[in-house]
Chain A
Amino acid sequence: MATYRRGRGLGDRLLLLAVVALAIVWIAPIVWVIGLSFKPNDVLMRSTGGIHLPPFTLKNYVDIIASSQVFAWMLNSFIVAIGQTVLTLVIASLAGYGFARTNFPGRNVLFVLVLAALAVPEQAIIVPLHTMFAAVDLHNTYAALIAPRLAFPFGVLLMTQYFRAIPAEIEEAALLDRASRLKVFWRIVLPLSIPAQATLGIYTFLHAWNEYFWPLVSATKPAMYTLTVGLASMQTNFAQTEGIGFLMAQAVFAGLPVLILYLFFQRHIVSAVAGGGNK
């Protein structure tokens, strides 16, 4: 017993050491970015070393906040990210349930089509997509920012697979009690799929929050910029050489809302991801 405990202790310690080492590797660039964001740009033009040494400044953050539109851009990002997340969850769940549990003519062909869409790169459809939204005069609207991403084949695949793994007997009992399909889905299946919903939700939100290219070509009026496009628009032509501190402050500023969300929902997110992995 003592040998077992000692062995487990050593293993745990090695594991802990490995995790700490990996955490340092992961955190170091973030600490570097945060450190640079508090340094004056003219100092960083000479050297990006010594982030722990003075001088320090808040000017990079003040310059961001001084932009009259930065909070409007942040609001746009929230509306787009939350809208996209909620609607993707609804669509992917319903579609996934349909593929997993119902029989209809052409189901398999349709499912293969959905899977095939996974292989189509975004760049391949950007021009027809843009033309389509231009034809119905929807650019510079939230609808144009949210809608193109709602057809999310990975989400449908994830939910389909998840629903298939739920024992059918659970639903059959409810169906025998004359519950409708929708009621079974809403009352029984959906609560069981919370871990998968959370995984898909987190992924969709982060993807929507960080997205750059589609908002760049669709939201061309500054009032409709998302945070990624708006912050980038503030960069001077030589930002990578003479505005490094400002660039780093932008990265921190853009990442902060997501970090705050994570801090609030940390417990749910961790359990969701772990649950999603284990089912």
Chain B
Amino acid sequence: MLRRTLAGAVLGALLATQAMAQAKTEITFARFFGACEGDYGTSQDVAKARGECGVMTSLVNLFNATNKDNIVVKPQIIEWGPYYQQLNARIAAKDIPAIAVMHAAQLGDYTRYVEELDGVLKEAGIDAGDFTPNARTAVTVGGKIYAMPWDTHSWLWHFNIGLFKQAGLVDAQGQPLVPKSVEEMLAHAKQMKEKTGKPYIIMATAGAGDFANGARGYYSWLYDQGGSIFPDGYEKANFHTPASLASFGVFEALAKGGYITKGLDGSGVLGGFMNGIGAVYMTGTWRIDDFLAASAKPGGALSEGYTTRAFPNLFKTQSVWTDNHSWVLPKGGTTPATRKAALTFLKFLWDHNFDWARGGGHLPARQSLMADYAKLPLRQFVVDIPSFGKALPHEVRRQFGFQNMIGEEIANIVNSGKTAAQAADAAQERSVALLRGR
């Protein structure tokens, strides 16, 4: 009798376990942003998470622990550099993730492989009317939405206020004077060099991963002039327009005057800015909290003050380069059951967009969060970026290829003394290969 009871209990337990296991719905979640199990392996405290990896890991932990539908999100993390190569391989091999992260700059290349989300977002309870103008443009291709926007990230000027004070380039409130024209910027740069002996601009141009820096500056100044590298359609680029030459020319003038750092890689310029080797560091929105923390430490090169501004308009209309992280549903990545789970997770992410913006260092994709975002330190200076930030149109394929190519030419201007005209010639020639077979 006892044996029978025990056997029944064991069988019951087994069946219950199996039933529980069956009720779980697993969805795969392909992303970069790194892995940080050491710091955030079990953390669900999203509000305390810092950095892209910390916030993403905590969000997934929180969702897996609290969702009521027994959904388990399985992150499939890959290094950011070859992420798209692997995604291509996965699509080709039909090993397709349910949800995948995607830069808006890449979305134009993938519309055949990801689902249209117009109706899907509504089904998930996500209000597309809350997208910022920048986020809406970023995820819309040919009038259709192909991704859920996650952020806007952009290019800023980060200021060492101590050096600006030393150079006499501050206003009555002790804030740095931001130039309004190329001539004014060069005059400030000259004054900075004469008074402090330091270059005005710090920019990484040496490493393979640094070429985006120059390209983002080039795009920003091109857009300020209302310019485009595709003025006559997307079949042929034109790097010889007056706006393009002027944008290359800004870097040429900075290099010729010795107003920009030469031959430094990303690590060198980041450490260099925190050690006071130059006055303005051109880099992204994601660095604000690092520099605020550095400026809070007494005795450091930033201890006299640090601030940031949107990339300055040196021409006609304020604009700046932007890109966006977004989430896509690759075609064939879900079954009817996992699709529902994927939408539930997308909605969860949407509801935590502010956590990403706060901890991850980017601007929110939701207009309704902007007021709260502006209350974060120094964010009042960058909060308007989604209203004037721009990106290459989605019709331009291989945008990262263009970014690297333009950045390499700017690195040549800065490090090797190439002229703006020579850089434009080289970019023109190289663009042919990038556009081949589009």
Within the complex, the shortest CB–CB distance from B204 to chain A, in Å, comes to 8
Q: State whether A232 touches B39 (Cβ < 8 A).
A: no
Within the complex, the shortest CB–CB distance from B189 to chain A, in Å, comes to 24
**Which residue on B lies nearest to A236, using beta carbons?**
B34
Q: A45-B270, A62-B38 are in contact. Are A232 and B79 (CB under 8 A)?
A: yes
Within the complex, the shortest CB–CB distance from B206 to chain A, in Å, comes to 11
**Which residue on A lies nearest to B270, using beta carbons?**
A241
Contacts of B92 in A (CB 8 A): 130-131, 134
Q: A196 at the A/B interface (Cβ < 8 Å)? A: no
Interface size class of A (residues with CB under 8 A): 35 or more
**In residues 87-134 of chain A, which contact B (Cβ within 8 Å)?**
130-131, 133-134
Choose one: B38, B53, B286; the contact of A67 (CB below 8 Å).
Answer: B38
Q: B76 at the A/B interface (Cβ < 8 Å)? A: yes
Choose one: A63, A216, A221, A237; the contact of B39 (CB below 8 Å).
Answer: A63
Contact with A along B32-72 (1 / 0, CB 8 A): 11111111010000000001110000000000000000000
Contact with B along A228-242 (1 / 0, CB 8 A): 010011111111111
Q: B209 at the A/B interface (Cβ < 8 Å)? A: yes
| Cα of A243 to Cα of B39 in the assembled complex, Å | 14
Interface size on B, residues (CB 8 A): 39
Contact with A along B70-85 (1 / 0, CB 8 A): 0000011111101001
Q: B434 at the A/B interface (Cβ < 8 Å)? A: no
**In residues 125-149 of chain A, which contact B (Cβ within 8 Å)?**
130-131, 133-134, 139-140
Within the complex, the shortest CB–CB distance from A243 to chain B, in Å, comes to 8
Q: B316 at the A/B interface (Cβ < 8 Å)? A: no
| Cα of A46 to Cα of B92 in the assembled complex, Å | 43
Grouping DSSP codes into helix (H, G, I), strand (E, B) and loop, the A interface class, with mixed when no group exceeds half, is helix
Contacts of A242 in B (CB 8 A): 270, 290
Interface residues of B (CB under 8 A from A): 32-39, 41, 51-53, 75-80, 82, 85-86, 89-90, 92-95, 207, 209, 265-267, 270-271, 274-275, 286, 290, 294
| 20 CB < 8 A contacts A-B | A44-B267, A45-B274, A46-B275, A63-B37, A66-B37, A131-B92, A133-B93, A134-B93, A139-B93, A216-B89, A217-B86, A220-B95, A221-B76, A221-B95, A222-B76, A233-B34, A236-B53, A240-B209, A240-B266, A244-B267
Sorted from nearest, which 5 A-B pairs have the closest CB atoms?
A236-B34, A63-B38, A66-B38, A217-B89, A134-B93
Interface residues of A (CB under 8 A from B): 44-48, 59, 62-64, 66-68, 130-131, 133-134, 139-140, 213, 216-218, 220-222, 229, 232-244
20 additional A-B residue pairs with CB within 8 Å, beyond A47-B271, A244-B267: A45-B290, A46-B275, A59-B38, A66-B37, A66-B38, A66-B41, A67-B35, A130-B92, A139-B95, A213-B82, A216-B86, A217-B85, A220-B86, A229-B79, A233-B34, A237-B33, A240-B207, A240-B209, A241-B267, A243-B34
